[in-house]
Amino acid sequence: MAVELEIKLTLYPQQIPQAVAWLLEQPQASEGGRKRLVNTYYDTPDNQLNGQRIALRLRQAGSRTIQTLKTQGEFVNGAHKRNEWEWEVPGPNLQLGLLADTPLADNVNLARLAPVFQTNFERQVIMLADDNAIIEVAVDTGEVIANGQSRALCEIEFELKSGNPDSLLIWAQKLAQQCPVFLNLVSKAEQGYFLADESLATARAIESDDESGGEATASLNRLLQRLSQSWLKQQSVSMKRLNLDALVQLVARGNMVQPWSELAEQLQNGTKVSDLLQQPLLGQVQLAMLRQVADERGA
């Protein structure tokens, strides 16, 4: 088992060439390979894996087939932190025996697993290496497919390979200064489940009322979750039950009052995330607020 830590940004396809060009211009960057990845996700007929926030897939990458199991994990300073099990397998079928020592073994009837959806995309890899961290950047463009329908997929993932986790947020912020991005908490798996059955994504969107990180942190986490779910469902963002006073105090400490006010006004007026994605304001404010929280925790 490994622990995966990554920040995912969603972009419009038109922004990808600009983002890739900027990344490759950085002195810390080296260009990796390109590959087509065909991914099939599995679950039981009653969606037991989805209910436990677990994703199981088979990935075809050239001549290799990789079986991967991921837990939902937790959200830390803008990054997803989750457990991951990965095995290379000999063919296009699940190897159920490999799941014996994972969270699935005692909770799911493995014999009932069947394909639910696919995520198929082209991946370009760029490595970033400096004195603080080594980061793998995956630029993914393709589609999610379920029930004869498809949904565009366009993401850039920053995954920590070694070093300081703070570097993920730093690099994401740098990219947000170059082109419009959206910090997206919705995984590829959740997009697939939503396309397969919208009610499944609704169940996964339940928010935590944990206030242990303080009012500002709790409200920021709720806001980020709502932005992501609203993007997924193409709905306007509800600002109810957010502690806006705490968020205002947070942005004031980070000298972000004006951009936050502009973003909050657009959200309260019903502007959808998909429309906000066409301008740099959204991603810049998201990442700056997270950076402020991270800096205050580290102080």
How far apart are the C-alpha atoms of 73 and 75, rounded to whole Å? 7
Q: Longest C-alpha distance within the chain, in Å?
A: 56
Read off the pLDDT of residues 261-293 as tens digits, 9 standing for 90 and up.
Answer: 999 999 999 999 999 998 999 999 999 999 999
Name the nearest CA neighbour of 36 among 160, 151, 120, 133.
120
Please indicate whether residue 288 or residue 71 has the higher confidence score (pLDDT): 288
pLDDT at residue number 53: 87
What is the SS3 assignment for the chain? CEEEEEEEEECCHHHHHHHHHHHHHCCCEEEEEEEEEEEEEEECCCCHHHHCCEEEEEEEECCEEEEEEEECCEEECCEEEEEEEEEEECCCCCCHHHHCCCCCCCCCCHHHCEEEEEEEEEEEEEEEECCCEEEEEEEEEEEEEECCEEEEEEEEEEEEEEECCHHHHHHHHHHHCCCCCEECCCCHHHHHHHHHCHHHHHHHCCCCCCCCCCHHHHHHHHHHHHHHHHHHHCCCCCCCCCCHHHHHHHHHHCCCHHHHHHHHHHHHCCCCHHHHCCCCHHHHHHHHHHHHHHHHHHC
* More confident: 208 or 32: 32
Neighbours of 205 (CB within 10 A): 17
Per-chain mean pLDDT for the chain: 90
Residue 209 has pLDDT above 70, yes or no: no
The answer to whether residue 28 scores a pLDDT higher than 50 is yes
Q: Please tell me the predicted confidence (pLDDT) of residue 208.
A: 41
Mean of the pLDDT values across residues 289-298? 87
Task: Please state the rounded mean pLDDT for residues 212-217.
Answer: 72
> How far apart are the C-alpha atoms of 112 and 125, rounded to whole Å?
35
160 or 208: whose pLDDT is higher?
160
Task: Indicate the pLDDT class of residue 212, thresholds 50, 70 and 90.
Answer: very low
pLDDT, tens digit, for every residue of 74-101? 777 777 888 899 999 998 899 999 998 8
Name the band, by pLDDT with cuts 50, 70 and 90, for residue 58: very high
* pLDDT for 271: 93
Give the model's pLDDT for residue 299: 59
Q: Give the pLDDT confidence score for residue 210 in this predicted structure.
A: 41
CATH topology of domain 1-204: Hypothetical Protein Pfu-838710-001 (2.40.320)
Give pLDDT, residue 206. Answer: 39
As annotated, the residues of the chain forming the CATH 2.40.320.10 domain(s) are: 1-204
pLDDT in tens, 164-207: 999 999 999 999 999 999 999 999 999 999 999 876 655 444 34
